[in-house]
Amino acid sequence: MNKIINKEISFLQAIGIILVVLGHSGKHIPYLTKWIYSFHMPLFMFISGYLFNYNISGYKDFFIKKTKRLLVPYFIISTIAYIPKYLLGRFAMRPLVFSFKGYLNGFLYPENNPIIFFWFLPTLFFIMLISLFLLRCLKSKNTFYILLIGGFILAVVSKKYISIKLLGTSIVLYYFLFFTFGIFYRKYQILICSFLKLNEKKICLILNFVLVLNCLSNIPIIRVEYDIFISIIGILSMISLSKIYNKENYNFLNFLYGKSYTIYLLSWFPQVFIRIVGYQILNLSWTIVLPISFFFGIFIPYIANLFIIFITNKFKKISFLRIVFGI
């Protein structure tokens, strides 16, 4: 059972990073963009919640481990990106101010980070700390239900009434729901999977039909409860898709297993390069730039991952590179 579940989670990580890179390749296909952005980051929060190990001995070890995993790459790669982002400011939608205040601002306010989608890393870090604290404090047999219901309330309240950008506070409060949903799913996965296994293909089709209807609709994004519902539908659709993928013994995405974090951390660099050259310099059509951006966004980090593994195996003194690049 664990081996099957691990395969399903690996598939979710692979399909999730494909959606992230595709979403960052360009927003020239509105319906596809709306479909991707309706659930792709909640999906990653869900995966993180599912994999969350809260049965640890102490807070200190947990803090150090998660700092290495999330914050070290966050600070180092953001710093690396700062200079090229500044130098290429005339091509950027969000040009940077070259100052220590501007540099610090990118960390205090994660949405202003040189790599805009890096908000996910400190957000996940804080959510993990909060979740560990709550799971240690709540001893009720209904703990997981309390977390899930509390997460929903926080998500709605944070979207409607709270706008605290410092340290991404509002984002933390919103995405806490999807992280707790991952914890909840792991706890009750046999029950949930028994429903999804009734007919994976039909359920997957129905769930994605709901997502397609959402893409074709004009429902305002400010309807928070509706957005949450669609995100949950998207997560469940990917779970059902993962069951189909593994049941049919497909393997065409297996090469991405274990590479998604490195791709997430490094995809910005080749994609920005391709977009600048393609759009700003060569004035190419999006039909050419988008697929090239997607291809480079996946495979340059993929090759970098293999190279870093190779070179750190050969030279143990630089093994810290594995931490920096999420290996």
pLDDT digits (tens, 9 = 90+) for 174-189: 999 999 999 998 888 8
In terms of C-beta distances under 8 Å and separation of at least 24 residues, what long-range contacts does 210-218 make, across chains too? Answer: 211/35, 211/38, 211/39, 211/237, 212/35, 214/34, 214/35, 214/38, 215/31, 215/32, 215/34, 215/35, 215/38, 216/31
Instruction: Give the residue extent of every domain in the chain.
Output: 2-254, 258-327
pTM for this one?
0.89
Lowest mean per-residue pLDDT among 4-8, 11-15, 118-122, 263-267: 4-8
Residue percentage of the chain with pLDDT more than 70: 94
The stretches of the chain forming alpha helices (DSSP H) are 2-24, 30-37, 40-51, 59-66, 72-87, 100-108, 120-137, 143-161, 169-187, 189-196, 200-216, 224-247, 260-266, 268-275, 286-314, 320-324
Give the model confidence (pLDDT) of 28-77 as tens digits.
Answer: 788 888 889 989 999 999 999 999 987 776 788 889 999 999 999 999 99
Give the model confidence (pLDDT) of 141-175 as tens digits.
Answer: 788 888 989 999 999 888 888 888 888 899 999 99
